[in-house]
Amino acid sequence: MDVRTLCLGVLSLGDASGYEIKKRLEDTFSHFYDASFGSIYPALNRLQKEGLVQCETEAQSKRPDKKVYSLTVEGRLTLVAELNNMPGRDRVRSEFLVAMCFADLLPVGQISEMIDQRLNQHKRLAAELAGRESRSSAAQQFIAGYGRALYEAAAAYLETNRHLVESEALLAQVDSDGVGAAD
């Protein structure tokens, strides 16, 4: 699944320009998918060439014409076909977890700061998603709830278990600094 499919998906919820697609992706999908202008605009042009979307150009004075795209029948079929493929496994790339793996190489203060930051971030994002669960379709609610559940679980885990990495980093520090081993 690539940006092109994602564009088809967004358009299935309503016509939009490239710019608007980007914004909707940020609103709705940012937690589990990203896309930049540099990938969206070329994707739309290619989708148009392939007849999966069509485009109405709204002339605008003093700024580029706004090109509003809509799904064609073929586009909708392609989207459905694509969604029918069993989804591949999630890809996660977490610099935070990599850092935690090597916690014993870092000063304890640094580890703690990273965890604090992460904790705040997760709580903020969970709250943001919670606010979204009321005002939207069942699918949107489901997605928002899913995200919230995960952020909350991560935050809870961090609070309960942070001592595991913090104490290990402390030991390593004592080890290499010779703290408490002064003669």
Applying CB under 8 A, the residues found at the interface with a second copy are 1, 5-6, 9, 12, 28-29, 31-34, 76, 79-80, 83-84, 86-106, 110, 113-114, 117-118, 121, 137-143, 145-146, 149-150, 152-154, 156-158, 161, 164-165, 167-168
Shortest reach from residue 141's CB to a second copy, in Å: 6
Which among 148, 151, 157, 147 is positioned nearest to 100, based on CA atoms? 157
* Residues 8 to 37 in contact with DNA, rule: CB under 7 A: 17-20, 23, 34-37
Looking at 42, 107, 109, 131, which residue binds DNA (CB under 7 A)? Answer: 42
User: Binding of DNA at residue 2 (CB under 7 A)?
Assistant: yes
Shortest reach from residue 146's CB to DNA, in Å: 21
What's the rounded Cα separation, in Å, for the pair 152 and 141?
16
Which range in 59-67, 72-80, 96-104, 119-127 contacts DNA by CB under 7 A?
A: 59-67
Looking at 29, 41, 82, 128, which residue binds DNA (CB under 7 A)? Answer: 41
- The alpha carbon of 26 is separated from its chain's Cα centroid by a whole number of angstroms, namely 8
According to DSSP, the residues that pair with 117 across neighbouring strands are none
- Please name the amino acid found at residue 25: L
Shortest reach from residue 60's CB to DNA, in Å: 6
112 binds, among DNA, a second copy, none (CB under 5 to 8 A by kind): none
What's the rounded Cα separation, in Å, for the pair 51 and 16?
16
User: Binding of DNA at residue 160 (CB under 7 A)?
Assistant: no
Paired sense of beta strands 53-58 and 66-71, if any: antiparallel
What angle separates helix 3-12 from helix 37-49, to the nearest 10 degrees?
80
Torsion of CA 46, 47, 50, 56, to 10 degrees: -110
